[in-house]
Amino acid sequence: MLIALWQQFRQQAIVWCEVALPGLLIIVLMLLIRWTGLLQIQEWMAFDSLSSRCPSSTAEHSIVIVGIDEADLDRVGGFPIPDQTLVDLLKTLQRYSPAVIGLGLFRDMPVQPGHDALAQMLAQSSNLVGVEMALNPEPSLNIKPPSMLPSERIGFVDVSVDEDGKLRRMVLASQTEQGMLYSFALQLAQRYLASQNIPFQAENFTSKSIQLGASELSQFQASSGGYIRAKTMGHQALFNFCAAQSLFQTLSLTDVLQQNFAPEWIRDRIVIIGMTAPSVKDVFFTSALRETLSSRLISRLIPATQLIYGVEVQAHAANQIINIALTRQPQLRVWADAWEYLWIASWGLLGIMLEILLQSPWRSVLSLVVATAILIGISFFALILGWWIPLVPAGLALNGAGLVTAFLERNLRFELEYRRVAVERMYEAIHNGPLQHLAVVLRSLDESNSPGELQQQLQSLNEELRSIFQHMRQEMLTRSDRLYLKGNLILDLQAPISELLYQVYNYTLEIQAPGFAEIQTYISPDFEVLKRNHFSVKQKRGLCLFLQEALWNVGKHAIGTTRLDVMCLREGNNYVLRVTDNGPGSTSVHEGQGTKQAKVIAWELGGRFQRRSHYPKGTICELIFPMQRNWLKGWVRVQ
């Protein structure tokens, strides 16, 4: 028993391996494609798409933006903003005790009037941070900070833009010839956190993390998330826009100068001053945010990509650092490379397993759709929890390996079904021909036939067995719709059913069988009644085989039969194909191959088969099946 089960399992495992091997190659190919970076942009797009669908943030913003828009430029006479206007702006803000003021405007040159007053204001405001551009390899493209600001109150606003032109990373610190430089956002955040008694440990910038109190800002690596061998200039971190789906409180320059705001909007908060006027073009691209300060103006022109102002970028960066330090939100984390590739391979293996187990085209497609939805759901909720896991390569591995396996499994299943049908056809041909002849020969041995007659019967049987192979080989190669009877007598199943049954009837009665020897009375059959219905090739084959088998049973067993009636008629809503003899009848309860074959034919026709005694003697063998053209049951079995 165990040996038989092991052999069955071993054979099934061989089939599974044959089907699964192409799917495994797809998985390996997908891993190689991912390793080369060809799916990098697609992973970025999926990451942005999931981020933009994250729920709105409920974390409290510690930042207020003072955006200088087009109306403000018209009021002050255009860009750049005069120094005196900035002095008035800074004095107004300082009255309300902000924790930090970030002046996100380049001021390397004076803009009269009011330059001296601005210089004095910048030098004396210990809570004010200015900006510079310092990381461009071409020195002429860098912009110096205001000369009156000390270095510890200056931060760079350089950003790292991905190959598709979108923003997903922030640069927090960089080692230069002048020493370690810190970003504008980090300078603002660490001063705000200092007011919250959270220390900033600058010495850890040389390591792979930045320490802000008990929290740690992990450094972006070349293969973090969907990145493949990315440039890792300075100390970078990933933007977690998923946790920042809400706009910052924003005031215009005019609102501040006219003091049109609530004092608590400013008190103990970070105030970042920057440009929100489209004409200045201080913008970047991102599709990871549902809404930005500029989205209402340009969403109709660029529906898939949002423009985000530079001041808003700095606000997001500083806000993310603060929220991580205050444990309000998780930092975006990624898996090690080995785990990511194992994750991708696992989804590919799942696709293979689903197709092997389900073995149905429709269920296979549905299972892949459901599995893909589950994968997207897992990736989405993982992002909400602060994890960026591979989505695109895992989805491609799942569907690629699954579809290839389904296609090959379907072909293999069809091939196995074709072989099974071939074996059945071969057995039908042998059972309804040579084996029936052999039964007659064996019966003849009990009736003292002459050696000459017996030799002739055996010779006929020999020729018939040899002819079967040639016919079956031709039928399997050409897949023709034919039914083998004997020698060159082969029925074309495309012919009308009535003609086919007449040929089967005439051929079978010509055979020299003991049951046919004494027949004196025949009722000629009329098969024309079946013309009213359309029969498939499979159904025609079944009807012919039934009639042939029923007549053979008379020839083999009904010794002494003098009357044979073959009738095809309508009874109510059914057709009846009936063979009646007046022989001695059969007392055997054994269900042979012929009976099993007849029951299968009846099932495919949606009817029933029965064999019963005929009074006063004989046997009735009949096939009863409905007239309506409802052959769906048989068709489903074929499929």
Taking only the tens place, the pLDDT of each residue in 330-378 is 889 999 999 999 999 999 999 888 877 877 778 888 999 999 999 999 9
Average pLDDT over residues 409-432: 61
Quote the mean pLDDT of the chain: 83
Residue 276: pLDDT band (50, 70, 90) is: very high
CA distance 323 to 446: 102
**pLDDT at position 478:** 45
Lowest mean pLDDT among 79-88, 185-194, 424-433: 424-433
Lowest mean pLDDT among 202-216, 381-395, 398-412, 473-487: 473-487
Are 255 and 359 in contact by the 8 Å Cβ rule? The answer is no
**Cα R_g (the chain), whole angstroms:** 44
Average pLDDT over residues 11-38: 80
Going by pLDDT thresholds of 50, 70 and 90, the confidence category of residue 431 is low
Helical segments of 359-449, H only: 361-384, 392-432, 434-445
Give the mean model confidence (pLDDT) for residues 3-10: 58
**pLDDT at residue 16 is higher than 70:** no
CB atoms within 10 A of CB 239: 20
- Identify which of 293, 287, 290 has the alpha carbon closest to the alpha carbon of residue 314: 293
Lowest mean per-residue pLDDT among 288-292, 451-455, 533-537: 451-455
- Is a pLDDT exceeding 90 seen at residue 489? no
Q: Mean pLDDT lowest for which of 435-439, 449-453, 477-481, 533-537?
A: 477-481
Nearest to 483 by CA among 537, 441, 534, 435: 537
| 24, pLDDT greater than 60 | yes
Q: Using pLDDT thresholds of 50, 70 and 90, give the confidence band for residue 638.
A: very low
Residue 9 CA, chain-centre distance (Å), reads: 29
Q: Alpha carbon 261 to chain centroid distance? A: 52
CATH topology of domain 480-638: Heat Shock Protein 90 (3.30.565)
Which alpha helices (DSSP H) does 558-592 contain, by range?
A: none
The structure tokens 């080369």 sit at: 36
Ranking 31-45, 383-397, 406-420, 612-626 by mean pLDDT, the lowest is 406-420
Cβ density class 289-318: b for 16+ within 10 Å, e for less: bbebbbbeeeeeeeeebbbbbbbbbbbbbb
Asked if residue 434 has pLDDT above 50, the reply is: yes
What integer is the mean pLDDT of 513-524?
Answer: 81
- What are 370-375's contacts with CB under 8 Å, separation 24+? 371/347, 371/398, 371/402, 372/398, 372/399, 375/347
Q: Which residue has the higher pLDDT, 148 or 441?
A: 148
Q: Who's near 30: CB < 8 A, 6+ residues apart?
A: 344, 348, 393, 396, 397, 400, 401
Is pLDDT at 466 greater than 60 in this prediction? no
- Kindly report, as residue ranges, where domains of CATH 3.30.565.10 are found in the chain: 480-638
**So what's the pLDDT on residue 30?**
93
Are the C-beta atoms of 184 and 321 separated by less than 8 Å? no
Q: State mean pLDDT over 20-49.
A: 91
Sheet strand arrangement including 270-275: 154-156, 128-132, 100-103, 270-275, 63-68, 249-252
pLDDT of residue 621: 92
Q: Which of 114-128, 254-268, 551-565, 590-604 has the lowest mean pLDDT?
A: 590-604
Which residues fall within 8 angstroms of residue 423, CB to CB, at 6 or more apart?
none
Q: Which residue, among 243, 262, 283, has the nearest Cα to 67 in the 3D structure?
A: 283
Give the pLDDT confidence score for residue 490 in this predicted structure: 79
Q: What is the pLDDT of residue 543?
A: 92
Percent of the chain with pLDDT over 90: 44
Q: Would the pLDDT of 267 be above 60?
A: yes
Supply the DSSP string of 187-235, one letter for each residue. HHHHHHHHHTT--EEGGGGGTTEEEETTEEEEPP-TTSTT-SS----SE
- Which of 212-216, 480-484, 492-496 tops mean pLDDT? 492-496
Cis amide prior to 55 (ω within 30 degrees): no
β-pair partners for 94: none
Q: Residue 139 — very low, low, confident or very high, per pLDDT cuts 50/70/90?
A: confident
Residue 585 main-chain phi, psi, to 5 deg: 85, 165
The predicted structure's pLDDT at residue 51:
94
pLDDT digits (tens, 9 = 90+) for 159-196: 999 999 999 999 999 888 778 899 999 999 999 998 88
pLDDT at 212: 81
Q: What sections of 300-387 are H helices per DSSP?
A: 310-325, 337-358, 361-384
Burial class (CB in 10 A: 0-12, 13-18, 19+), 470: exposed
Most confident by average pLDDT, 212-216, 455-459, 488-492, 551-555:
551-555
Helix or strand or coil: residue 579?
strand
Residue 306, pLDDT score: 82
pLDDT at res. 639: 33
Q: Is the pLDDT of residue 58 over 80?
A: no
Q: Counting beta carbons within 10 angstroms of the beta carbon of residue 108, is it exposed (0 to 12), middle (13 to 18) or buried (19 or more)? A: middle
Per-residue pLDDT band for 477 (boundaries 50, 70, 90) equals very low
Beta carbons within 8 Å of 249's beta carbon, 6+ residues apart:
61, 63, 64, 65, 265
The residue behind tokens 């057995």 is: 427
**Cis amide bond preceding 496, omega within 30:** no
Q: Is the pLDDT of residue 398 over 70?
A: yes
Q: Do 484 and 541 touch, CB atoms closer than 8 A?
A: no
Q: Which residues have C-beta within 8 Å of that of residue 345, sequence separation ≥ 6?
A: 27, 31, 397
Which residue spans within 429-529 are E strands per DSSP?
482-486, 489-492, 521-523
Residue 556 pLDDT exceeds 90: no
459 pLDDT higher than 90: no
Q: Is the pLDDT of residue 201 over 80?
A: no
Lowest mean pLDDT among 89-93, 284-288, 298-302, 575-579: 298-302
Kindly indicate the confidence band of residue 2, based on its pLDDT and cuts at 50, 70 and 90: low
Give the H or E element holding residue 75. helix 70-76
